[in-house]
Structure 1
Amino acid sequence: MSAEAAILAAIARHDALAIAVSGGVDSMLLAHLAHRTGAAVKVVHAVSFAVPEEATARVKVHATRHGWDLALVDAGELADPQYTANPVNRCYFCKSNLYSRIRSVTDATIASGANTDDLGDFRPGLLAAAERSVVHPFVEAGAGKAVIYALAAELGLGDIAALPAQPCLASRIETGITVTPETLTFIDETERTLRPLLGAGAALRCRVTAAGVAVEVAPTPPPAAATAAHSAAADICAMAGRPFLGLKPYQRGSAFLTGAA
């Protein structure tokens, strides 16, 4: 059985699905595949300061273009002090709020875009999913990130097939630093300003740490691009009154401090 067939079979086990779509390649592809099975599909997207504006815009465009039944919701995580305290298991509270909100608008089985590569990470959100019987068709089908990107390209979804990994904006805030709308907006605006200078395919993270703001990038940008990005980031930080620590090589999960509360 092909990877696509296995995923479609996992989806087809459910007569109705509510797919939590963040705007990234995983959940977007899941929504596209689910619509091919004939199942009743509701796409639910959380509009939040923690979600990049570009991600929300992308979901809206695909929903209009492909006729999705789209519900935009406020997951309410920023009203949860357990989330805003930014503990090491912040994602648990984020997903708990999201899935509870989705359940309030539909009785359908909730599905996520989690894939097998996620299983090797510390993912507190998966516990929240398990507590609420959320299903993961990619995991059921044994599909990882490489398969997801390949399928997105094969299906002609070029705009999402080229997307770099893009976790929520709160993941840029060092563990233990309070998550606020102001900080999330600062991160989003910084990354949207720098991305055209560094290239759409670059891994880009504006990290807010106790010492200041670091911009992590991969691959190493050409000298001219690095100089332009450094200058722009320094100006943004100066206007926001935040110390700028410079451009650094991208390090996955560097804002996550397991020794913090």
Structure 2
Amino acid sequence: MGKLDDLIDWFENKNKVMIALSGGVDSALVAYAAFQKLGNSAIAVTADYKTLSKEELETAKQICSEIGIKQILVDYDELQNEEFVKNSSDRCFHCRLELGDHLISLAKQHNVEVIVDGTNLDDLGEYRPGIEALKKNGICSPLVETRFTKNEIRSTAKFVGLSIYDKPSNSCLASRIPWGQRVTSEKLTRIELGETIVKQITNLKQVRVRDLDGNAKIEVEKDRISIFEDDILTEITNKLKLIGFLSVRVDPDGYRPGKINVITD
């Protein structure tokens, strides 16, 4: 695995490194590589903020346990940040800028000189204002520098035995709310509960419940839409209305990352 060696060697001569670990496969592989080279001089940091689902938080803890790397949880409320809450198209920039501030503060406490994240080559081809915010704070992206694509990350993670190698990509709960509609605690709670309900009833892994002014739009992979037969859709609709959604429908076009801010009806 030549690229894996390159990734591990990226951490050569780094005295102490902090990895922003989200619960996804990208940052998990970076944490693995850092730990292979640096051992206890590699520290994983997971931000336990309000838009991170409990499922993602538990996955992040599991990853660190598998790798053996020390994990620090940073708890703060980005809903106190008006630039984030108003949910304009640069919401992710303000979120990651705030995260960067917390990471830098923590790095100083632990005498860490280098902070890294899980940004990969495929991310650079998408609209990701959060990446610019991380760069502004001097956070490095070893997967970009060692030229890893998403598929290569998954195959390498499988090779080294990380259990989440095939975990579907996820994003913060606020990404289920269209730009221009404010992010609130109430919306985040019903989105998280809604996705849990749909996953439990359908056994699907890739599920988005979009909150469109209180109306739920369910997105799943297109070839799995047929699972929403009358009885199942009725059960889901009833349960989602109980937690506060006004109406429920399944998007016939299926799931696509970032779709909510292209098509919001």
Task: State the TM-score, normalizing by the size of structure 2.
Answer: 0.89
In 2: Cα distance, 1:84 partner to 1:15 partner = 37
User: What secondary structure, in the 3-state scheme, does the structure 1 residue paired with 2:5 have?
Assistant: helix
| Cα displacement string for residues 76-114 of structure 1 (whole angstroms, at most 9, x for unaligned residues) | 322100001111010001101111111111232111100
2:208 corresponds to 1:205: yes
Query: Contact 2:208/2:220 (CA < 8 Å) preserved in 1?
Result: yes
Pair 1:7–1:237, CA change in 2 (3 A): same
- Are residue 86 (structure 1) and residue 91 (structure 2) matched? no
RMSD over aligned CA atoms reads 2.2
Q: Is the 8 A contact 1:207 1:215 kept in 2?
A: yes
3-state DSSP of counterpart to 2:207:
strand
C-alpha displacement of 1:226: 4.5
Match of 2:221 among 196, 218, 227: 218
Q: 2:174 aligns with which of 170, 180, 187?
A: 170
1:110-148 Cα distance to aligned partner (Å, 9 max, x none): 111000000011111111111111000000001010011
* Post-superposition offset of 1:169: 1.0
CA deviation digits over 1:5-55, x for unaligned, max 9?
Answer: 221222335322111111111111211121001261111101122111111
Whether the 8 Å CA contact 2:66–2:162 is kept in 1: the answer is no
Matched, 1:30 2:30: yes
Matched residue SS, 2:260 = coil
Partner SS for 1:36: helix
Q: Which moved more, 1:32-41 or 1:166-175?
A: 32-41
How far the C-alpha of 1:222 sits from its partner, in A, is 6.5
Residue 24 (structure 2) pairs with residue 41 (structure 1): no
Q: For 2:224, what is the secondary structure of its paired residue? A: coil
The answer for the alignment partner of 1:62 in structure 2 is 63
Which stretch of structure 1 is more off in the superposition, 25-34 or 233-242? 233-242
The number of equivalent residue pairs is 257
Matches of 1:15 and 1:233, distance apart in 2:
51
Residues 258 and 219 (structure 1), Cα distance of their counterparts in 2 relative to 1, 3 Å cut: closer
Q: Give the C-alpha shift of residue 194 in structure 1.
A: 1.3
Give the Cα separation in 2 of the matches to 1:126 and 1:199. 32
Identical positions, percent:
27
Deviation at 1:180, TM superposition (A): 1.2
CA contact (8 A) 1:75 1:97 kept: no
- From 131, 144, 149, the equivalent of 1:139 is 144
Decide whether the 8 Å contact of 1:198 with 1:221 is kept in 2: no
CA distance 1:226–1:70, shift in 2 (3 Å): farther
- Structure 1 residues 228 and 167, CA gap change in structure 2 (3 angstroms): farther
Could you tell me the TM-score, scaled by structure 1's length?
0.90
Instruction: State whether structure 2 residue 10 is matched by structure 1 residue 6.
Output: no
CA distance in 1, matches of 2:53, 2:232: 19
Consecutive unaligned residues in structure 1, runs of 5 or more:
none
